[in-house]
C-alpha cells in the first residue's frame, strides 16, 4: 500500500529524522520526501511511503502527532510512483496528438498532484467537456458536486478551492474560456506547490494544443 503523508514540524536539525524514525517503527518504507515549504520556523514535507500490507492511517497520524511540535496535515492514498516522470510522459502524449491535448491532460494530471480526478469545464456554463474516469458526469450529479455553480469553479486566477467533501483547485486555460479543475476527497487542501505545478503543465499543454 502506498500513501502520501503531509507533515509539518519545527525547521530544526533532527526533526526530519524524528519523522523518519517513527515511520520506520511502523514498518514504512520511505520512497520519497518532497519539501513543500520552509517558512516562519516550520517545515512542511510530503512523504511517499509504502507498507507491505494495509495500514491504519489513524495509527500513522497518532504516532507522528505524538512527537512534540509535529503536526500531520494529511494521510491519503497516492498513485504517483517515486522517481517516475509523469510530466514528461504527459507532454510526450500531447505532442503525439495535439488534437486530443485536453483529453490527454485530464487523464494524466491527477497523478501529477495526487488528485482523484480532473475535468476541463466551460467557464460560463459549467459543462464538463473532458473528464477523467472518476470525475462526476455533471456538476449536479448526485453524490458529485451537487449545488456547485460554474462560477464557483471558474476563478479569474489559479486558486485552491473547497466544495463540500472535495478539496479542489482550478486553473483557467488562457484564451479559451475553459478551466481545468482537479479534486480529491482524502488528504489536505492542495498546496501552492501543487497548484504551481499544475499551472506550468497546463501552460505548456495549451501551447502544444495550438500546434498545427
Instruction: State the pLDDT at residue 127.
Output: 86
pLDDT in tens, 28-70: 899 989 999 998 889 999 999 988 777 778 888 888 888 889 9
**pTM of the predicted structure, to 2 decimals:** 0.84
Determine how β-strand 159-163 pairs with β-strand 166-173. Answer: antiparallel
Of residues 45, 76, 91, 84, the one with CA closest to residue 205: 91
Determine how β-strand 159-163 pairs with β-strand 178-184. Answer: unpaired
Of residues 156, 151, 125, 155, the one with CA closest to residue 138: 125
pLDDT in tens, 132-189: 988 888 776 544 565 667 778 888 899 998 767 789 999 999 888 999 999 998 889 9
What does the alpha-carbon distance between residue 119 and residue 5 come to, in Å, rounded to a whole number? 25
Name every residue whose Cβ is closer than 8 Å to that of residue 155 and which is 6 or more positions away in sequence.
161, 170, 172
What does the alpha-carbon distance between residue 12 and residue 22 come to, in Å, rounded to a whole number? 17
pLDDT in tens, 2-33: 888 999 999 888 888 999 999 888 888 999 89
Instruction: State the pLDDT at residue 46.
Output: 93
Residue 66 vs residues 14, 30, 70: alpha-carbon distances, Å = 16, 19, 7
What does the alpha-carbon distance between residue 145 and residue 153 come to, in Å, rounded to a whole number? 11
CB of 22 within 8 A of CB of 64? yes
Instruction: State the pLDDT at residue 81.
Output: 73
Q: Report residue 52 as a C-alpha cell.
A: 507491505
Length of the chain: 212
Name every residue whose Cβ is closer than 8 Å to that of residue 145 and which is 6 or more positions away in sequence.
136, 139, 163, 164, 166
For residue 139, the tally of other CB atoms under 10 A from its CB is 22
Q: Report residue 150 as a C-alpha cell.
A: 460554474
Amino acid at each position: 500500500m502506498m500513501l502520501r503523508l503531509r507533515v509539518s514540524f519545527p525547521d530544526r536539525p533532527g526533526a526530519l529524522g524524528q519523522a523518519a524514525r517513527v515511520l520506520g517503527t511502523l514498518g514504512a518504507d520511505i520512497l520519497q520526501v518532497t519539501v513543500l515549504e520552509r517558512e516562519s520556523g516550520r517545515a512542511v514535507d510530503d512523504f511517499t511511503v509504502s507498507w507491505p500490507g494495509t495500514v491504519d492511517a489513524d495509527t500513522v497520524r497518532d504516532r507522528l502527532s505524538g512527537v512534540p511540535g509535529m503536526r500531520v496535515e494529511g494521510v491519503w492514498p497516492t498513485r504517483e510512483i517515486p522517481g517516475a516522470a509523469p510530466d514528461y510522459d504527459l507532454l510526450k502524449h500531447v505532442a503525439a496528438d495535439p488534437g486530443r491535448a485536453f483529453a490527454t491532460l485530464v487523464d494524466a494530471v491527477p497523478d501529477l498532484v495526487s488528485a482523484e480526478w480532473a475535468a476541463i469545464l466551460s467557464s460560463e456554463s459549467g459543462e464538463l467537456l473532458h473528464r477523467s474516469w472518476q470525475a462526476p458526469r455533471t456538476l449536479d450529479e448526485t453524490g458529485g458536486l451537487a449545488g456547485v455553480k460554474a462560477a464557483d469553479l471558474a476563478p479569474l486566477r489559479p486558486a485552491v478551492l473547497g466544495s463540500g467533501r472535495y478539496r479542489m483547485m482550478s486553473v483557467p486555460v488562457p484564451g479559451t474560456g475553459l478551466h481545468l479543475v482537479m479534486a480529491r476527497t482524502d488528504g489536505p487542501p492542495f498546496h501552492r506547490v501543487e497548484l504551481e505545478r499544475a499551472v506550468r503543465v497546463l501552460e505548456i499543454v495549451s501551447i502544444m494544443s495550438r500546434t498545427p
